[in-house]
Chain A
Amino acid sequence: MGETILMKGNEAVAEAAIRGGCRFFFGYPITPQSEVPEYMSRRLHEVGGVFLQAESEVAAINMVYGASGAGARVMTSSSSPGISLKMEGISYIAAAELPCVIVNMVRGGPGLGTIQPAQSDYFQATKGGGHGDYHLIVFAPQSVQEMVDMTIEAFDVADKYRNPVMILADGLIGQMMEPVVFPDGEDRPNTEKPWATVGMGDRAERNIVTSMDLNAEAMEEINWRIQEKYDKITKEMLRYETLDTEDADLILVAYGSSARIALNAMSKARENGYKVGLVRPQTVWPFPYEVIKDLANQAKAFLTVEMSMGQLIEDVKLAAGETPVYHFGRCGGVIHSPAEVYEKIEEILNGGGAAK
């Protein structure tokens, strides 16, 4: 392993992409992720790749479509309003089964919202977001180091499943500096892509990258085929952590930045004798429904801690059955403090508050 260095999240995710074999980046400035394209414009030049600042988020994601269809490892990054603009292209990419990595440094919404961190794009990231039946594989890192590791892996995962992968972080992870270690070596084996459009050469059959079939039955078949892939991904790609859940009366569920704040509150609760545990999804699609379902037999309640009005809670409720699920969230760019999460824990365990 390499040496430990101090690095800002947005720059670290960009460097991780390069370590993951990414040589093409198409993006557009938006706070709080603009250091990603800035870093890429310097570094891709050094490693013989291509950085291109597109005229819009819409153009950027369609450049990603073209480059991915032509066989490249390619990435784009943005923040909430920009990701909304990319949604049309993301749907096409998912339908055409093209591998790529999309980074979302989520900020407060809706609308133009704020430039401060939020987790209110959870529905958009995990339920499709654009039109049609599709899924992204969504990693939810809680630290700069985890974001680096997940981003490097994301390019392999995208190629393996021929599916877009999203790194769902937020303005907090993007803007903060933490120590990180990058694995040694820059070159990763490039996956064989016999389906890519590279010119026919002496190939007898044409390669065609498309998301369309005007025949309804044929289009349904394509949907079935993609669905089978999603079933496989659900089995193979699920990642989560559990902490102190064995004896817990109350189980916190949180991902990304919120998980760190939840952990802080949980530690104080344990010190004060409350039996509190934590489930931290590291992938939010696929989602650890079974884990929560099993814990629902033992726990008295769940509490989702998220920087939104309540999105993650819907997935937790799907798995929790009769066990009550509480929600604590700040939103619009406001980050909850460990103290207020602790107060909520105390309130629930003392019989207060209303489950959603």
Chain B
Amino acid sequence: MDQKTKINALEGKQELTITREFDLPVELVYKAYTEAEFVAQWMGTKVIKLENRDHGSYAFETSHEGNVIFKANGTIHKVVPNQEIVRTFEMENMPIGIQLEFLNFEKVTANKSKLTIQIIYKSEKHRAKQLKLPFAYGLNMAHNRLEEILKNLM
């Protein structure tokens, strides 16, 4: 089966590309990225700031049970409505560093569109840390789950 979301991370490079096809008009995918109300909904985060213009900036904050567990921010370098966003992205308190993102919005048909995100990291090592993050998280989840099961048995 053809996957809707694809990741291309060539070995030895400090960048990766994420592509996704949406059953949505390109305008709506762009809207999902540029209007705080929608960003908050699909990212599951609080949008502190989102200045959707050249040389603007943005900040997100996610809380769980009253504690802030995730903070991210960046500078929006360039915005071309329904076509392109160039911005930086930084997860605070993470060893991944600041990354540069090129988002390209493409119309496929009236109701289909394609998003291509090219992400450039400071180094290949920084990219590896990013890629490993959900991997490590997945392992931790499995581990915690195992602990839970063991606890219930005792």
Q: Judge: A and B partners, yes or no.
A: no
Chain A positions within 8 Å of B, measured between CB atoms, are none
